[in-house]
């Protein structure tokens, strides 16, 4: 069961619900979204009979949820959510299409800044870049760590692009969150439950990539771990799954986008770079993502892919980005989506 609070519910209202549930022998998990607070009730339903929670100030409704992922389910939140990222509040949600672009790995300040300017020119409103890189080989480039985070922060200051970057260890969450605007959990950590709980408590939006062998339900249950620790600002990312097919790096499960939208209120973006693993596949996979209703895409770009320390074969260059920007401009209006402009930009233009 979940308790949905009214938009103007105070912290005292929330704590009153928690206290009543706790006194009855149950447990309550508070999750705060951008517009609303939800309280998940844990325990036998018999604990909650007779509590008359609907009579408490600030309570809007109580909902019984049949799915195992309660807080991220459409059963209690029928309207799709919009997640706002960064101080400029870049939206990811049903009314816009968000382009997230940047280098797979931060290598140098010059490379990252050049990639950020490429991203801006293509219409990106969020900058991705990896400072910590979980790699299949221990001999591969593992990222610059905090030095990479500092480079990303400097580039944000110069370009205004909020940062999306991966965290791979629960012990590093506070460090990464002190620099990042959005925390990314990668495919290899999609069921690292201690990490999911830690990012849920970090107070920053989270991009959760689907595990390479995860079912959609397992993916949503991973999101539930984050929500259960108080964070409803979660964006799902379909990045391709591992199948028998070897002509692409992974197999993009394009059907996962509408299925996840049907089951969950969370935004869903697609990673056409890591799914295809080839530069020539990024544009057609991006078009497919737009057509199927994705809320955005996250793509790898590099000023010189031949020298890239990570995933050069899938990184877009300037001429690719011109085509990608044209496709986004042409196709997204057909689905009644606009560009994901920061709210401060919208305030000026309006």
Mind listing the pLDDT tens digit for each residue in 292-309?
Answer: 999 999 999 999 999 999
Q: Which residues contact 13 (CB under 8 A, 6 or more apart)?
A: 5, 56, 57, 58, 59
Chain centre to alpha carbon of residue 99? 12
Q: Supply the pTM of this predicted model.
A: 0.88
229 vs 260: CA distance, rounded Å: 21
Could you tell me the domains of the chain? 2-63 (3.30.70.1140), 83-349 (3.20.20.70)
DSSP character for 130? B
Query: Which value, to the nearest 10 degrees, does the dihedral of the CA atoms of residues 300, 305, 310, 313 take?
Result: 80
Helix (H) or strand (E) holding 101: strand 96-102
| pLDDT for 46 | 63
Q: How far is residue 163 from each of residues 45, 90, 131, 296, 325, measured CA to CA in Å?
A: 42, 11, 11, 15, 20
Q: Give residue-wise pLDDT tens across range 185-237.
A: 999 999 999 999 999 999 999 999 999 999 999 999 999 999 989 899 999 99
Could you tell me the two tokens for 13? 């209202």
Q: How far is residue 194 from each of residues 159, 173, 176, 213, 277, measured CA to CA in Å?
A: 34, 11, 16, 19, 29
| pLDDT for 139 | 66
Q: Are 203 and 233 in contact (CB under 8 A)?
A: no
HSE at residue 244, side-chain half, CA atoms within 13 A, is 0
């Amino acid at each position: 069961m979940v308790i949905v609070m009214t938009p103007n519910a105070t912290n005292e209202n929330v704590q009153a619900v928690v206290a009543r549930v706790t006194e009855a022998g149950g447990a309550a998990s508070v999750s705060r979204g951008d517009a609303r607070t939800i309280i998940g009730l844990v325990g036998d339903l018999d604990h909650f009979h007779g509590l008359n929670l609907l009579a408490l100030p600030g309570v809007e409704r109580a909902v019984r949820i049949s799915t195992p992922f309660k807080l991220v389910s459409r059963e209690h939140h029928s309207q799709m959510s919009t997640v706002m990222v960064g101080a400029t509040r870049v939206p990811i949600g049903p009314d816009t299409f968000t382009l997230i672009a940047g280098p797979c790995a931060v290598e140098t300040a010059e490379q990252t800044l050049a990639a950020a300017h490429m991203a801006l020119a293509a219409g990106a409103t969020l900058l991705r870049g990896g400072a910590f890189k979980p790699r299949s080989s221990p001999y591969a480039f593992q990222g610059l760590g905090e030095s990479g985070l500092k480079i990303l922060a400097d580039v944000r200051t110069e370009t205004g692009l909020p940062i999306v970057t991966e965290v791979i260890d629960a012990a590093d969450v506070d460090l990464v969150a002190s620099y990042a605007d959005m925390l990314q959990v990668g495919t290899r950590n999609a069921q690292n439950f201690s990490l999911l709980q830690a990012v849920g408590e970090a107070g920053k939006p989270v991009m959760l990539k689907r595990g390479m062998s995860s079912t959609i339900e397992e993916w949503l249950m991973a999101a539930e771990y984050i929500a259960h620790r108080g964070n409803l600002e979660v964006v799902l990312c379909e990045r391709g799954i591992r199948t028998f097919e070897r002509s692409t790096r992974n197999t993009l499960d394009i059907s996962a986008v509408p299925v996840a939208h049907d089951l969950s209120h969370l935004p869903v973006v697609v990673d056409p770079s890591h799914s295809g693993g080839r530069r020539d596949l990024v544009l057609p996979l991006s078009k497919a993502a737009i057509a199927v209703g994705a809320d955005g895409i996250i793509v790898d770009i590099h000023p010189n892919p031949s020298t890239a320390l990570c995933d050069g074969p899938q990184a877009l260059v300037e001429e690719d980005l011109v085509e990608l920007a044209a496709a986004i401009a042409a196709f997204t209006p057909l689905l009644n989506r606009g560009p994901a402009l920061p709210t401060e930009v919208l305030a000026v233009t309006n």
